């Protein structure tokens, strides 16, 4: 075959491919799908994706409207960016959109995707797992049962910060360790090994959670082209399997120690979640739905991974925003001094009286929601949203980050103004802004049946952390340092540059830090 013939055939093939692609685009446009970028053949809009996905989606919404579709490889994504459409997805058609399109890495981490709360499809098993967590661990009564454990861990953090006062502290890393110790202590109590062994376990968990976050947030060809998943071209599944196995070994060690202690007649030092789950596993479930050892490990994974970075990142963001605006920081300190005083250490019992501090937390979660795109939803049947067809099996993103910065709802939406959440403020128009998900303008924890199960714990931990940090210490940047509020998108919203600050004791007596 001569060169001219080859060239002609090549051009013909390219023209045919272009024709087929344009025909597919026309079919998509006439099929009732939301508008959106055309993209390229085969890859769609993959090559134009911005790493800051929440910002990229907000820019596309400004161009295509509050609901748009985007082709990512062979997968269709639909992005919702308005309170009214979020209500259609999360409330009015909650059951249709309640399931997940599980990423390949998450399928590994969650023991197959059907054993935990986050990725489990709605059904009897999911309802049992959620009921177990909420009733036994995350309810107000469950949290009250382990008040002493939180008190112990926060006092340990207070002593540590006093010991290193005058030197730079990575605020997010420190609060991660505190949160991790509280959560692991709540899960399996304080009787698994010595204090030094518990500290080592907490440190190991920190590294594992950081690695898992990277895996879950990494763009994965196996997710964009499911037909290629079995080849694991980027090795993300293999890396995730390794991380899961490391978690699995640690969980197995902890469970084995607990079983041996029970067989020897020992009892837990305080009520804990593991003791309850092992009892439920031994009984085989609740009589209707089975509960296995895999469920035990998957729920432990949920709590450890889901409850640590989200809380510590929120504390770090709040501290950074307040240090950026000293007026707000001083107002929080004035409230703490009025409610608590400087002659005692702040306690959880003081938290309900710290109204301005809670407004700071709400404003932090408005500007920096822990999961800016939530966990994507996946309709189990074709649905209609905003007059457009949303096909079954697509991936639906609710851009909470953009909704909570909507100038049609929020006055000066890019400004950090905690006063907007105080009763009587003109900007709230008499509405009650809380974490229940009832007001779709403000849904930092989601809404509907998939709303975060750990809201009560997250709110209490965040408030206690900030109250302790600001009541006991003054905070300044190291000499020559600049405050940076740049975001870095991942599964959770992170600061691109960690907040490093220097604590100085401010309580009246040094012995308060060592009690």
Count of Cβ atoms closer than 10 Å to residue 416 Cβ? 21
Q: What is the pLDDT of residue 491?
A: 77
Reported pTM = 0.90
Per residue in 149-206, pLDDT (tens digit) is: 899 999 999 999 999 999 999 999 899 989 988 988 888 875 455 556 666 666 777 7
CATH number of the domain at 374, please: 1.10.630.10
Q: What is the pLDDT of residue 271?
A: 61
Say how far apart CA 191 and CA 511 lie, in whole Å: 28
Query: Are both 50 and 20 inside the same structural domain?
Result: no
Q: What is the dihedral of CA 38, 39, 43, 48, to 10 degrees?
A: -150
Average pLDDT, the chain: 88
Query: Are both 467 and 388 inside the same structural domain?
Result: yes
Query: Are both 270 and 333 inside the same structural domain?
Result: yes
Percent of the chain with pLDDT over 70: 88
Count of Cβ atoms closer than 10 Å to residue 179 Cβ? 27
Per residue in 357-379, pLDDT (tens digit) is: 999 999 999 999 999 999 999 99
Query: Are both 79 and 26 inside the same structural domain?
Result: no
Query: Are both 417 and 285 inside the same structural domain?
Result: yes
Mean pLDDT of all residues in 491-507: 93
Per residue in 288-314, pLDDT (tens digit) is: 899 999 999 999 888 888 889 899 999
Query: Are both 24 and 36 inside the same structural domain?
Result: no
CA-closest candidate to residue 36, choices 9, 8, 2, 70: 70
Query: Are both 64 and 23 inside the same structural domain?
Result: no
Query: Are both 315 and 261 inside the same structural domain?
Result: yes
- Backbone dihedral angles phi then psi of residue 81, each to the nearest 5 degrees: -140, 40
Query: Are both 3 and 142 inside the same structural domain?
Result: no
> What's the structural domain count of the chain?
2
Query: Are both 98 and 16 inside the same structural domain?
Result: no
Query: Are both 7 and 84 inside the same structural domain?
Result: no
Burial of 99 from C-beta contacts in 10 A (0-12 / 13-18 / 19+): buried
Q: What is the pLDDT of residue 199?
A: 61
Q: What is the pLDDT of residue 314?
A: 97
Q: What is the pLDDT of residue 194?
A: 56
Per residue in 98-123, pLDDT (tens digit) is: 999 999 999 998 887 668 899 999 99
Domain housing 494: 31-513
Q: Measured on CA atoms in the order 188, 189, 191, 195, is the torsion positive or negative?
A: positive
Query: Are both 141 and 9 inside the same structural domain?
Result: no
Contact 376, 395 (CB under 8 A): yes
Per residue in 413-471, pLDDT (tens digit) is: 999 999 999 975 444 455 678 999 999 999 999 999 999 999 999 999 999 999 999 99
């Amino acid at each position: 075959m001569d060169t001219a013939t080859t060239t002609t055939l090549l051009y013909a093939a390219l023209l045919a491919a272009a024709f087929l692609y344009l025909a597919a685009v026309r079919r998509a446009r006439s099929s009732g799908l939301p508008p959106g970028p055309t993209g390229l053949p085969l890859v769609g809009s993959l090559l134009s994706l911005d790493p800051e996905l929440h910002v990229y989606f907000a820019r596309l919404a400004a161009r295509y409207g509050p609901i748009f579709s985007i082709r990512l490889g062979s997968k269709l994504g639909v992005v919702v960016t308005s309170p009214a459409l979020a209500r259609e997805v999360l409330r009015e058609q909650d059951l249709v959109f309640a399931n997940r399109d599980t990423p390949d890495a998450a399928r590994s981490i969650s023991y197959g995707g059907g054993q935990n709360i986050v990725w489990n499809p709605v059904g009897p098993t999911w309802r049992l797992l959620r009921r177990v967590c909420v009733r036994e661990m995350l309810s107000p009564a469950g949290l009250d049962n382990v008040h002493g454990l939180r008190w112990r861990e926060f006092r340990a953090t207070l002593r540590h910060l006093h010991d290193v006062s005058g030197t730079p502290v990575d605020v997010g890393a420190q609060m991660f360790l505190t949160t991790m110790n509280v959560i692991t202590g709540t899960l399996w109590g304080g009787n698994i090994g010595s204090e030094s062994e518990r500290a080592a376990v907490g440190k190991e968990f920190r590294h594992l959670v950081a690695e898992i976050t990277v895996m879950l947030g990494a763009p994965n060809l196996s997710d964009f082209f499911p037909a290629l998943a079995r080849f694991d071209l980027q090795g993300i599944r293999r890396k995730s399997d390794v991380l899961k196995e490391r978690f699995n070994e640690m969980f197995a060690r902890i469970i084995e120690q607990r079983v041996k202690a029970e067989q020897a007649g020992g009892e837990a030092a305080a009520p804990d979640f593991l003791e309850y789950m092992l009892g439920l596993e031994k009984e085989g479930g609740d009589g209707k739905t089975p509960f296995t050892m895999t469920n035990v490990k998957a729920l432990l994974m949920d709590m450890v991974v889901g409850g640590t970075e989200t809380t510590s990142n929120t504390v770090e963001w709040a501290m950074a925003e307040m240090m950026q605006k000293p007026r707000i920081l001083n107002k929080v300190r004035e409230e703490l001094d009025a409610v608590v005083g400087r002659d005692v250490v702040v306690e959880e019992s003081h938290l309900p009286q710290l109204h301005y501090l809670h407004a700071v937390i709400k404003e932090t979660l408005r500007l920096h929601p822990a999961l800016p795109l939530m966990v994507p939803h996946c309709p189990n049947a074709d649905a209609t949203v905003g007059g457009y067809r949303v096909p079954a099996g697509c991936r639906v993103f609710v851009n909470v980050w953009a909704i909570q910065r909507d100038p049609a709802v929020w006055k000066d939406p890019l400004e950090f103004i905690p006063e907007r959440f105080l009763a009587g403020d003109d900007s709230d128009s008499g509405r009650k802004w809380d974490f229940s998900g009832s007001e779709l303008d403000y849904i930092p924890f989601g809404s509907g049946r998939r709303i975060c199960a750990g809201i009560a714990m997250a709110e209490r931990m965040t408030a206690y952390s900030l109250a302790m940090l600001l009541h006991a210490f003054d905070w300044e940047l190291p000499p020559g340092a600049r405050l940076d509020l740049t975001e870095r998108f991942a599964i959770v919203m992170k600061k691109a540059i960690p907040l490093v600050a220097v604590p100085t004791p401010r309580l009246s007596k040094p012995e308060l830090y060592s009690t």
